[in-house]
């Protein structure tokens, strides 16, 4: 057992995206002995954002990676530097939680899960190569870059249709592509989308390929009923076919919802008194940089209260 494995830390933060970085800054400034872990080195999804325009106080920044770097520098300034490791499993006891990683274990009086989520990929050729170059998973983030253009949205659930409604207001034309003949989205959203003059739906249709070399130039789509393939000229495709939370390592220790998101109350407490969760990995997150940062801060304020009084948080208030 390594020296660190014997040591009792105040806090382990799992994930150094915006939620984990914000938590790291507050924990460092608050004097907590903290281990900040990330399997990709930190920055989270922000690293892949082309441009960020909607994070308050940062009106114009060349790339998401630059914002992630600023967060990293600020966290390091307060002693929260990122340890490169992948969390595999949590082991919770009454007085501590042990975080087992590929490279070793860390024991702490509190744990914050800030491991984010990832969008389920479409699986169509061209998707990976053109991610951030016309392929997007965030309409409010990237929609305004396609003002005056024709774009596609893929999906049929509420988040797909909600983002499609938003896009009807900012781009020239929106084509929603759905593999079935009816949408799963809430009725009010469906009605709002179909009422827009610039909205079209391609029913029973799947994307076979995303076309383009350095940017999206179109889609090859196939109608599942007729079997016919055709090309759709679009400048961007927004993919909303589901989200996958990065919560597998916590499955046996905290309550998850039906989709695998960690259940929390308004203080970011999970069902385990020493474990908190923040950002995209938690239930009902708005999935924005700003909300992830807010969650991380809320969690540290509450963790600090718990550690100061050495009283594990009472069971979480159910807010589902
Ligand atoms: C293409 C794109 C564009 C976007 N544009 C915007 C925008 O313009 N504005 C905006 O506000 N939001 C935007 N978003 C959303 C925003 O990036 C997320 O809401 C935000 O990053 C969530 O932060 P988080 O800290 O909760 O999670 P993440 O950013 O997902 O970070 C989680 C971190 O946890 C780490 N991790 C995961 N599992 C483990 C593990 N087992 N062990 C160790 N580490 C682990 C990951 O490596 C990652 O670094 C965009 C998202 C995407 C994908």
The CA 37 to ligand 1 mean position distance, Å, reads: 14
C-beta of 46 in contact with ligand 1 (< 6 A): yes
pLDDT at 233 over 90: yes
C-beta of 18 in contact with ligand 1 (< 6 A): yes
CA neighbor of 13 nearest in space, from 305, 214, 245, 295: 295
| Paired strand residues for 153 | 176, 238
Asked, colleague to colleague, whether 3-118+243-309 and 121-239 share their fold, the answer is yes
Task: Report, as an integer, the average pLDDT of 244-259.
Answer: 96
CATH number of the structural domain 3-118+243-309: 3.50.50.60
* CA–CA distance, 47 with 31 (Å, rounded to integer): 28
Question: Which class is 121-239 in CATH?
Answer: alpha beta
Using most ligand atoms within 8 A of CB, pick from 16, 17, 62, 294 the residue to mutate for ligand 1.
Answer: 17
The structural domains of the chain, with segments of one domain joined by +, span: 3-118+243-309, 121-239
Instruction: For residue 142, indicate whether it is catalytic.
Output: yes
Express each pLDDT in 131-176 by its tens digit.
999 999 888 789 999 999 999 999 998 778 988 998 999 999 999 9
The verdict on pTM exceeding 0.75 is yes
C-beta of 297 in contact with ligand 1 (< 6 A): no
* CA–CA distance, 36 with 85 (Å, rounded to integer): 9
- The residues, ordered by sequence, that sit 6+ positions from 273 with a Cβ below 8 Å of its Cβ are 306, 312, 313, 314, 315
pLDDT for the residue 4: 66
Instruction: For residue 138, indicate whether it is catalytic.
Output: yes
Express each pLDDT in 56-98 by its tens digit.
999 878 788 899 999 999 999 999 999 999 999 999 999 999 9
């Amino acid at each position: 057992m390594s020296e660190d494995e014997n040591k009792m830390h105040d806090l382990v933060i799992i994930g150094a995206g915006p939620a984990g970085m914000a938590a790291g800054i507050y924990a460092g400034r608050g004097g907590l002995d903290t281990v900040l872990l990330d399997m990709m080195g930190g920055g989270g999804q922000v690293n892949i954002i082309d441009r960020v325009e909607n994070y308050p106080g940062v009106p114009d920044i060349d790339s998401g990676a630059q914002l992630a770097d600023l967060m990293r520098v600020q966290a390091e300034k307060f002693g929260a530097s990122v340890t490169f490791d992948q969390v595999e499993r949590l082991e919770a006891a009454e007085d501590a939680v042990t975080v087992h990683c590929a490279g070793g274990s860390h024991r702490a009086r509190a744990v914050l899960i800030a491991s984010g989520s990832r969008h389920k990929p479409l699986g169509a050729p061209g998707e990976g190569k053109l991610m951030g170059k016309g392929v997007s998973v965030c309409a409010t983030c990237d929609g305004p870059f396609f003002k005056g253009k024709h774009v596609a949205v893929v999906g049929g659930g509420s988040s797909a249709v909600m983002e499609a409604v938003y896009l009807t207001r900012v781009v020239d034309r929106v084509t929603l592509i759905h593999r079935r003949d009816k949408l799963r989205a809430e009725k009010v959203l469906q009605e709002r989308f179909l009422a827009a003059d610039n909205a079209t739906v391609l029913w029973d249709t799947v994307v076979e390929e995303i076309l383009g070399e350095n940017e999206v130039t179109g889609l090859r789509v196939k109608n599942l009923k007729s079997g016919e393939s055709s090309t759709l000229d679009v400048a961007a495709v927004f993919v909303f076919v589901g989200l996958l939370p990065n919560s597998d390592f916590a499955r046996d220790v905290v309550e998850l919802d039906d989709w695998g998101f960690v259940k929390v109350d308004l203080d970011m407490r999970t069902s385990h008194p020493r474990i908190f969760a923040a950002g995209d990995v938690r239930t009902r997150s708005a999935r924005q940089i700003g909300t992830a940062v807010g969650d991380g801060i809320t969690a540290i304020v509450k963790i600090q209260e718990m550690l100061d009084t050495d009283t594990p948080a009472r069971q979480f208030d159910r807010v589902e």
